[in-house]
Amino acid sequence: MSRARTAAIQLLGPIALIVIVGLLGSASSGAHQIDFVNALVQTTIVIGMYIFIGNSGVISFGHISFVAIGAFVAGVLTIPSVVKPTLLPALFPLLANHSVSPFASLLIAAGAGALFALVIGAPLMRLGGLAAGIGTLAVLEITHNLLRYWEKIGPGARTLSLVPTTTTMRVATIGAVVSAVVAYGYQRTRAGRLLRATREDPAAAAGAGVRIHGQRLGAFVLSGAVAGLAGGLLVHALGSITTEQVYLDLTFVTLAMLVVGGMNSLWGAVVGALLISFLDTYLGYAENGLDLGLFRVNLPDGLSTVILGAIMLAILVLRPSGLTGGREFRIPGLRRRATPAQPDAEEEDGGAAPAAETSA
């Protein structure tokens, strides 16, 4: 099996899973569609975090601030300009007088995420370990504090509403697929490999001439762009947003998704995000009564969160490296050495064709 083929299979696994979720979502009834869109947007957020955390091994609590900035920039720039003076009276003229299309707002959200990551990353990427964790947590706290109380840049403590809901199932699927391709493409580049070397052994990598600060900053900016894009997708999926929705809870949940899936692989990020997202949704439904055909589950209010936390804890205790063990997707039984060429080729064609069709 050639390197290119391994790479194709490793990338096609996550993409196929995302596309399947998108197709299932399209086929589901109207009320449940938003759950699928939500799961896909959360997957995009987790892929964004994975680009930095997975490749560098440095924990960041700050990525939800890129999501927040992407969400508020995209939201403020796309709400109808006639309602802006009443909804957001104190806005800066630059934001108050300009409106863009929802698609352009996604690009601006990604750009804003990348720019913010560059500005804060340039000094903060000198830190490693816990100091980096606390430094990025400080960024999250500051972002949240400013968005909540500074009414020149957004709605403050009020809800930003009337945002056009343009993140359809197709848009959410494409967003997640694009992010997965970016993430996988990055980790195969020289820069991605150098960063992974610093994760495995910072001292040896530095000794071999890798500039740790520069490599980390590059990944941080790229992951900021993907997280910003995810924020734009999020606000256009929900139609309204508050600062509390993009703060500590989302930070903890998305980090847990990444680690539960296995933070060292893209496959782990996607599996963890989708699994926890759907568990969360359906446990929530179970509180209102969930029909499972033979019997009806009816959990007391609030118990779903207890169960979700317990499940995550159990997975971490049983599989400390995450569900995927931090390995990329492979087709079971497909070995580099012993496999004859014929079925191998079929396998790849069979996997590639439908995925390419559906995502187009």
Partner 1 sequence: MSNVIQYIIDGIALGAVYALAAVGIALIFGVLRLVNFAYGELITIAAYVLAVTSNWWLPLSLLAAVASSVALAVLTDRVAFKRLREAPPATTLVATFALSFALEAVWRLVFGVNGRSADVLGALNTTAISGAIDVRWVTIVEVVVGAALLSAIAIFLRRSTIGLQMRAAASDIRTARTLGVRADRVILSAFVLSGVLAAVVAMLLTAGSPLVTPTLGLEVTTFALVGVVVGGMDNLVTATLGGFVVGFVNAVLGDALGADLRVFLSSFTYLAVILVLLLRPGGLFASRRATGAERV
The stretch among 43-51, 121-129, 236-244, 338-346 that binds partner 1 (CB under 8 A) is: 121-129
Provide, rounded to whole angstroms, the least separation between the CB of residue 80 and partner 1: 29
Give the phi and the psi of residue 297 in degrees, each rounded to 5: -95, 130
| Cα separations in angstroms, 358 against 263, 281, 355 | 27, 25, 5
Between 104 and 127, CB nearer to partner 1: 127
Q: Which is nearer to partner 1, 129 or 354 (CB)?
A: 129
The rounded distance, in Å, linking the Cα atoms of 298 and 284 is 10
Cβ burial, residue 136 (10 Å; 0-12/13-18/19+): buried
Token representation of residue 173: 């699927």
* Residue 111 interacts with partner 1 (CB under 8 A): yes or no: no
Write each residue from 34 to 53 as x if it is in contact with partner 1 (CB under 8 A), else as -, in one continuous string: -------------------x
Smallest distance, Å, CB 284 to partner 1? 12
Cβ distance to partner 1 smaller for residue 83 or 142: 142
Q: Which residues contact 94 (CB under 8 A, 6 or more apart)?
A: none
Q: What are the angstrom distances between the C-alpha of 62 and each of 124, 156, 278, 288?
A: 11, 20, 24, 34
Per CB under 8 A, 308 contacts partner 1: yes
Q: Are the C-beta atoms of residues 231 and 46 closer than 8 Å to each other?
A: no
* 255 in contact with partner 1 (CB under 8 A): yes
3-state secondary structure of 124: helix
The DSSP output letter for 51 is: H
Q: Which listed residue (313, 345, 353, 356) binds partner 1 by CB under 8 A?
A: 313
Give yes or no for residue 129 binding partner 1 (CB under 8 A): yes
Query: Looking at 42-50, 162-170, 219-227, 256-264, which segment touches partner 1 (CB under 8 A)?
Result: 256-264
Query: How far, in Å, CA of 216 to CA of 201, rounded?
Result: 14
DSSP H or E run through 228: helix 212-238
**DSSP-derived 3-state class of residue 340:** coil
* Least spacing, CB of residue 339 vs partner 1, in Å: 32
Of 314-353, binders to partner 1 (CB under 8 A) are: 316-317, 320-322
Separation of alpha carbons 159 and 140, rounded Å: 19
In the complex, minimum distance from the CB of residue 194 to partner 1, in angstroms, rounded to a whole number: 17
Size of the site for partner 1 (CB under 8 A): 47
Q: How far is the CB of 278 from partner 1 (least distance, A)?
A: 17
Stretch that binds partner 1, among 34-42, 100-108, 147-155, 227-235 (CB under 8 A): 147-155
- State which residue, 36 or 66, has the beta carbon closest to partner 1: 66
Task: Report the alpha-carbon distance of residue 311 to residue 300 in Å, rounded.
Answer: 17
Instruction: Using CB under 8 A, list all residues that contact partner 1.
Output: 53, 57, 59, 123-124, 126-131, 133-135, 137-139, 141-142, 145-146, 148-150, 202, 252, 255-256, 259-260, 263, 300-303, 305-306, 308-310, 312-313, 316-317, 320-322
